[in-house]
């Protein structure tokens, strides 16, 4: 089973659950879901779509079927395609492989810092 891409072109968000996982379809956003979830939530691949229209509450009687089908039709549902691209197989140059990280920065000693002032009140001589 593959992934299905769902884009909600309705004005309101749809929330639904499948197999213990909650899915949220916000307007104009695309969400990837498992094919089984798409079948349950949207009737993906199911020849009798009325079950989904009733379950979603979009249709309570056959007089509401046209509006419910329009609402379901506002979801763009398509199979995701996978594309594999080759990756670089040769090792990266040493300078690329390990970035140089400065762990700390040495600062010039402040002559007036309490640690650097002798008992006489002046900075120790170097």
- In this prediction, residues 61-71 reach a mean pLDDT of 94
72 pLDDT above the threshold of 80: yes
The count of C-alpha atoms lying within 13 angstroms of the C-alpha of 24, restricted to the half-sphere facing its C-beta, is 2
Q: How confident is the model at residue 2 (pLDDT cuts 50, 70, 90)?
A: confident
Q: Which of 87, 43, 88 is nearest to 68 (CA)?
A: 43
The answer to whether the beta carbons of residues 20 and 35 sit under 8 Å apart is no
Taking the C-alpha atoms of residue 30 and residue 41, their distance in angstroms, rounded to an integer, is: 15
> What mean pLDDT is reported for the chain?
80
Residues 46, 60, 11, 18, Cα dihedral to 10°: -50
The answer to whether the beta carbons of residues 18 and 10 sit under 8 Å apart is no
Taking the C-alpha atoms of residue 41 and residue 18, their distance in angstroms, rounded to an integer, is: 8
102 pLDDT above the threshold of 50: no
**32 — phi, psi (to 5°)?**
-95, 130
- In this prediction, residues 100-106 reach a mean pLDDT of 46
């Amino acid at each position: 089973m593959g992934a299905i891409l769902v884009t909600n072109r309705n004005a309101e968000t749809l929330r639904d659950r499948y197999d213990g996982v909650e899915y949220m379809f916000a307007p104009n956003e695309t969400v990837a879901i498992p094919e089984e979830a798409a079948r349950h939530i949207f009737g993906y691949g199911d020849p009798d779509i009325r079950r989904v229209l009733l379950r979603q509450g979009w249709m309570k009687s056959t007089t509401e079927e046209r509006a419910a089908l329009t609402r379901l039709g506002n979801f763009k549902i398509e199979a995701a395609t996978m594309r594999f691209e080759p990756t670089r197989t040769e090792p990266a140059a040493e300078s690329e492989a390990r970035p140089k990280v400065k762990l700390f920065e040495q600062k010039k000693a402040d002559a007036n810092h309490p640690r650097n002032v002798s008992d006489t009140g002046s900075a120790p001589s170097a």
